[in-house]
Structure 1
Amino acid sequence: MARAVRFHRIGGPEVLRLEPVDIGQPAPDEVLIRVKALGLNRAEALLRTDRYIESPRFPAGLGLEATGIIEAVGQQVHSFAVGDAVSVLPPTSMLDQPTHAELLLVPQARLVKNPPGQDWTSAAATWMQYLTAYGALIDVAGLRSGDYLVITAASSSVGLAAIQIARRVGAVPIAVTRTSAKCEALLAAGAAAVIANSEQDLLPRLQETTGAKGARVVFDAVGGPIFEPLTAAMAIGGIFIEYGGLSPEPTPFPLFTVLSRSLTLRGFRVHEVLEDATRLEAAKSFILEGLADGSLRPVIARTFDFEDVVGAYRFLESNQQFGKVVVTL
């Protein structure tokens, strides 16, 4: 038995409970992990409020990331051993394979060994953010040196990962955030320019920053009314990648802007990379190389104890964080 984060009804963080669950023994291709840290994601809050791409089945588990030590392995597991420090790659479904628990059974195909010397907090803050940003920007958009990249929700863990990846390949990251409170921190994190969307007129500021060239890539987690000025500031033939839906307002379709600029509008889910072995190996190599050379460095906003997982999600949903919120066990 082990404690897991579960909820029995739709609601805010207060509906979360730590409940005992029966873990069992590893199947032939599985490992048993003693969890040391968990990374939190907006997708989990969306699932809990029934605004995600899947709806909860009660009692519902939660979680997309975890890191820890292998305690047991199945008979067909040969690449991992008891005592290895590993991280769990995001599951296809949180309903079937939630990660927020003290012990986890995980197929070996969803594991990666932690780099030597990486601490638990950084390990818990690595894979969801970098796989999402890499998959959208490098694998799909082909981001390259000199490209202007516009990043919304830039102070999120994925937004900061996008800034670092852009810098790694020589692109120019332009951060969009709601207020000026995080502007200095975003500049220090590598943004070439920062636009406070609620305090500045977004379109002219983007046009001023990118000049006649325009933004070849937009990486958006928000949707809603911001969609129109973002597309209007894009380069001819640019690609707009939508990977979230944080805005509660409708998202307009800017038909004539899309037509006149020959834009590509593309939805992205990290599972595109996770479910393709070749793409996943390329992503892992890029991320591990970046961690090794220091160009990719997870930014931790704050850590919480497992017993205070409710407080951790309240902080995540307060929009105060800069980087990843991590729960330690």
Structure 2
Amino acid sequence: MPRVVRFHELGGPEVLRIEDIDIPGPGWGEIQMRVKALGLNRAEALLRSGTYIQTPPLPSGLGLEAAGIIETIGEGVDGFAPGEAVSVVPPLSMARWPAYGEIATYPAALVVKHPPSLSWAEAAAVWMQYLTAYGALIDIARLRRQDFVVITAASSSVGLAAIQIANMVGATPIAVTRTSAKKQALQEIGAAHVIASAEEDLEARLKEIAGPEDIRVVFDAVGGPIFEPLTAAMARGGILIEYGGLSPEPTPFPLYAVLAKTLTLRGYLVHEITGDPAKLEAAKAFILDGLMSGSLKPVIARAFTFDQIVDAHRFLESNEQFGKIVVTV
């Protein structure tokens, strides 16, 4: 029987277990794949610990991203064949369609034939980060050439994807990270400017780099007190897109900046893209074009083996990574 990762109780990485499970074949419209690599996401740690937007039935599987080889095709599926290399768009529910296993099953609509130039690790690291960044920057903000875009949590996989997408469309990415330890690496990946928020005056540095009225787009995963200097440096009519809440501190509402500059503060989930077939097709075309041209290239922080899944989750929660954590199966 194939091995899968499940948890029978909520808690830390130590609750994850590798178990032998009998997995049924694919249903109507589904594809079953033999997994070669997994991409890890913070959402999986949140699900495991009981703090995610979804409460899983126990025992539960988990995982949002995988790449592998098609093994079996369900009825009603066209355009795919056993033996093809594919990767998967994150499903709405990882408890319903978990990735962590030697065998995984997905709706065919979420299965993508990725460029053959990608390694298994790179293919497993594509869709969550690039779809998240694409949805915010391209679909919502309509990021354009010569825009300044501020990207917080810049060394995360989504932050790095946002830097690459900004460069792909000719915008100027300003990376915000906590300390200067990752400054050089961010510059090498394509950040035009890097600000260490714990070491520098964020508002002053933003205005120095872009001027007092030139930052139209902010892509933020942090929240908390950073809202005030971010909005203070934004242009009139600018948009701040919030997709996370990493700060443990309260997030103030910057009333006067919002009123004076007619700012838009918008919450965002990647499900806005993955749940809309037309938007998902546009996003996939954009991302595949970037992957094939080399403008987009996943950054792998570290690779673990399947048997090291607990260690991989511990590293995921350390916040030490630069890019994506992957697990080879």
TM range (shorter): over 0.9
How many Å separate the matches in 2 of 1:48 and 1:224?
A: 24
How many Å separate the matches in 1 of 2:218 and 2:9?
A: 36
Query: What is the Cα deviation at residue 89 of structure 1?
Result: 0.8
Percent identity of the aligned residues? 66
Query: What is the Cα deviation at residue 116 of structure 1?
Result: 2.2
- Give the letter aligned to residue 301 of structure 2: A
Query: What is the Cα deviation at residue 17 of structure 1?
Result: 1.1
Query: What is the Cα deviation at residue 165 of structure 1?
Result: 0.2
What SS class does the counterpart of residue 211 from structure 2 fall into?
A: helix
| 2:25 pairs with 1:25 | yes
* Mapping for residues 119-268 of structure 1, pairs under 5 Å: 119-268=119-268
Does the 8 Å CA contact 2:224/2:247 hold for their aligned counterparts?
A: yes
Query: What is the Cα deviation at residue 318 of structure 1?
Result: 1.0
How many Å separate the matches in 1 of 2:15 and 2:226?
A: 32
* Mapping for residues 9-88 of structure 1, pairs under 5 Å: 9-88=9-88
Indicate the residue corresponding to 1:324 in structure 2.
324
| 2:120 pairs with 1:102 | no
| Per-residue deviation, residues 184-236 of structure 1 (Å, max 9, x unmatched) | 00011110111111111211111111113331111011111111111111111
How many Å separate the matches in 2 of 1:104 and 1:36?
A: 10
**39-48 vs 279-288, greater mean Cα deviation:** 39-48
Query: What is the Cα deviation at residue 8 of structure 1?
Result: 2.0
- Give the letter aligned to residue 24 of structure 2: G
Question: Runs of 5+ in structure 2 lacking a partner?
Answer: none
What's the RMSD between the two structures over aligned residues? 1.1
**Aligned residue pair count:** 329
Structure 1 runs (4+) deviating above 4 angstroms are none
Does the 8 Å CA contact 1:174/1:191 hold for their aligned counterparts?
A: yes
* Mapping for residues 233-312 of structure 1, pairs under 5 Å: 233-312=233-312
What SS class does the counterpart of residue 228 from structure 2 fall into?
A: helix
- Give the letter aligned to residue 288 of structure 1: L
Query: What is the Cα deviation at residue 276 of structure 1?
Result: 1.1
How many Å separate the matches in 1 of 2:237 and 2:312?
A: 41
- Give the letter aligned to residue 201 of structure 1: D
Does the 8 Å CA contact 1:23/1:105 hold for their aligned counterparts?
A: no
| Per-residue deviation, residues 35-79 of structure 1 (Å, max 9, x unmatched) | 000000111112222222122321122111001001111122111
What SS class does the counterpart of residue 213 from structure 1 fall into?
A: coil
Q: What's the TM-score once normalised by structure 2's chain length?
A: 0.97
Query: What is the Cα deviation at residue 92 of structure 1?
Result: 0.5
Question: Runs of 5+ in structure 1 lacking a partner?
Answer: none
What SS class does the counterpart of residue 269 from structure 1 fall into?
A: coil
What SS class does the counterpart of residue 176 from structure 2 fall into?
A: strand
**254-263 vs 45-54, greater mean Cα deviation:** 45-54
- Give the letter aligned to residue 274 of structure 2: L
**106-115 vs 47-56, greater mean Cα deviation:** 47-56
Does the 8 Å CA contact 2:212/2:234 hold for their aligned counterparts?
A: no
